[in-house]
Chain A
Amino acid sequence: MAIDASRGFSQLGGTEDPPELVQLLTPEGERVEHPDYDIELTPDEIRGLYRDLVLVRRVDLEAVALQRQGELGIWASLLGQEAAQIGSGRAMTDADMAFPTYREHGVAWCRDVDPVKLLGLFRGVNHGGWNPAEHNFHLYTIVIGSQTLHAVGYAMGIQRDSAEAAALVYFGDGATSQGDVNESFIWASVFNAPVVFFCQNNQWAISEPLEKQSRIPLYRRASGFGFPGIRVDGNDVFACLAVTRKALDDARSGQGPTLIEAFTYRMGAHTTSDDPTRYRVAGELEAWKLKDPIERVKAYMFKNQLADQEFFDAIDTEADQLGRDVRKRCLAMPDPGPLAIFDHVYAERHALMDEEREQFAAYLATFEGADGS
């Protein structure tokens, strides 16, 4: 079988041309123009994007290591998808609301969520450890595609508030087969909701390649629902920023939803429990390594003298410090007490919770002193 790093084109349709990717920065670090999606970035902004990319990759690496050492039960790595997440994440205004899957660690970074708080659910000390309203970053959603409807409902709320804001919802290529995602497209369309659908097509839904989900490029699905779809180079942080910014602007100004397909690649396993060598060939990974989202920014910055070696070294040092800090604070995360099982199940007082909590506390109390303590 031929290795095709640009998989996702219709392999069955035969005659159609490969769809065009919006790209502003080539894998070699060359800046290219696009008639619809240009972007002006200051050197500071570019250095900032580079820093984001490196730091989130470092946090991710640390989390993988923590899982390997038994400190996390599982981890879903974002490796390879940094540009899609940082580009789209940095396109939001403070008033916009993001709805992530469980892999959007880079978007969480853009929304100022402490990386350690992401680890709670993977360590098993909680199911989600931050206040979504404080960061305008919703909780991680594990059921595939559920959050797309939440984002559309939230966007309908924005409409009713006449607010200057939009919802940005993340999901993967596999999720596009879910009923909820398709329902969310319908709702967003008929209510003209201010929502942007950001699909990171990382080519794989655990072991299932894109061909198992769709016979047409995913971005083209949008036209059937009545709103624009666009494919962007998901490994190009400039392009992801430009395309998402435009889509969010459109949403905020009453132009309705957009589907963005960020064409990228899951460089790692689905999660730390997965073994991708069982279902994909090594050559595919090698081909995508040449399109790395960080290296191209670094090459561009070098070529254009936007940063010197000292800058890159300083970022690497900062990344290592961050990694160490995340590790230290992860290990310090306490296990909750057993009665936390009953906390926050209901917002208001609930007789059954009171009853079971009391009974379990009494049961636990029978062990007090049993071990000589």
Chain B
Amino acid sequence: MTTLALAKAINEGLRKAMEDDPKVLVMGEDVGKLGGVFRVTDGLQKDFGELRVIDTPLAESGIIGTAIGLALRGYRPVCEIQFDGFVFPAADQIITQLAKMPMRSLGELKLPVVIRIPCGGGIGAVEHHSESPEAYFTHTSGLRVVACSNPADGYSMIQQAIRCDDPVIFFEPKRRYWEKAEVDTAGADWYPFDAAKIVRPGTDLTLIAYGPMVKTCLEAATAAEEDGRSVEVVDLRSLNPLDSALVMESVKRTGRCAVVHEAPVFSGYGAELAARITETCFYRLEAPVLRVGGFSTPYPPSRLEDHYLPDLDRVLDAVDRSFTF
């Protein structure tokens, strides 16, 4: 076991993947000498060279479009989109090409492209640097969408994403980049990256989260315990596919559920969860599935982001509301 910050854990995961497979490439803006603006690719160009760690022109569509071409030639590119709000110029290549080409080819082509996106707010950034665009991608069939929440998952999930023959959108909660935890870099007996995990067991209510909100939910569960409520926390880890079995088992057991994400609630990923849970667990629910998330507004200026982002109190408020039914 080693203690690593999330950014370093992903860095180590990338390094291991590049050592294991010479076809793995890293590409993006400033990923080379600088090591990425969050240092997630730090030292990789020095050790693997400019042919495998590519500083690209500043063109996100170009990054994804050429990554597709490299994948067609047998490479496994890992693309970095510098910030969540900058992925949109690449949306056309991701949605019309990357996601659809395997089906277009009747299964002849595989596109093992990973797109790493630092996501979410909480770092006091300017506009376009704090967004949560996951629902755009979970809505696009052909993509896998995952979000890591902690260093151990960052290390193992990035390697599994790279080994996967499907395109993977890999969300990294940027405000957790510097938070440290123990990582087993020796073992390879990984928890599957498309499976959810109960990260805190409980009996009275299920909190469902992913990425940056997992930690917030764990803190809320600890606080709720003081009120005598046993709150279970599920880290989804994979948004598409969704680990339905684990989610439904948990909610059927607790009978209450709140979904927490930073993205706007309206038409967000929580809506899909709420609908599915209601369909599957209808007779076991003691209360409607509640959603906690950002407002249906553009992401606010950073001095206001504490009000926008779900925090401990907003999550506890939802827990309280659930028990009023």
Contact = CB atoms under 8 A, between A and B. Distances in A.
Interface of A: 126-133, 138-139, 141, 143, 146, 148-161, 167, 179-180, 183-184, 186-187, 190, 343-348, 350-352, 355
Interface string B65-98: 1111111111100000000000001001100110
Contact of B72 (A153, A343, A350): A153
A187 B93 CA distance: 15
B65 to A, nearest CB: 2
Nearest to A195: B69
Contacts of B59: 183, 186-187
B69 A152 contact: yes
B105 A154 contact: no
Nearest to A151: B69
Interface string B39-80: 000000000000100001101011011111111111100000
Interface in B130-181: 141-142, 144, 164-166
Contact of A348 (B96, B108, B164): B164
Given A133-B108, A347-B165, A186 B93 contact: no
A183 B62 contact: yes
Contacts of B166: 346-348, 350
B92 A146 contact: yes
Interface in B228-253: 240-244
Contact of B106 (A129, A155, A350): A129
A132 B92 contact: no
A149 B105 contact: no
B102 A157 contact: no
Choose among A126, A128, A148, A157 the residue with the greatest number of B CB atoms under 10 Å from its CB: A157
Given A344-B103, A344-B107, A351-B241, A187 B66 contact: yes
A183 to B, nearest CB: 4
Interface of B: 51, 56-57, 59, 61-62, 64-75, 89, 92-93, 96-97, 100-110, 141-142, 144, 164-166, 194, 240-244
- Contact residues of A: prevailing secondary structure: helix
A187 B61 CA distance: 11
Nearest to A343: B107
Contacts of A131: 105, 108
Contacts of A130: 108
A182 to B, nearest CB: 9
B105 A157 contact: no
Nearest to B241: A351
A151 B75 CA distance: 14
Given A183-B61, A187-B62, A149 B103 contact: no
B74 A183 contact: no
Given A153-B66, A183-B61, A347-B102, A352 B93 contact: no
Given A126-B106, A131-B108, A154 B57 contact: no
Given A180-B61, A187-B66, A160 B51 contact: yes
A342 to B, nearest CB: 10
A167 B61 CA distance: 19
Contacts of A129: 106
B107 A347 contact: yes
A187 B62 CA distance: 8
8 contacts: A128-B105, A148-B65, A149-B66, A149-B68, A149-B69, A157-B69, A160-B75, A351-B242
A341 B65 CA distance: 26
A184 B59 CA distance: 10
B104 A179 contact: no
Choose among B51, B102, B109 the residue with the greatest number of A CB atoms under 10 Å from its CB: B109
A132 B106 CA distance: 11
Contacts of B62: 149, 180, 183-184, 186-187
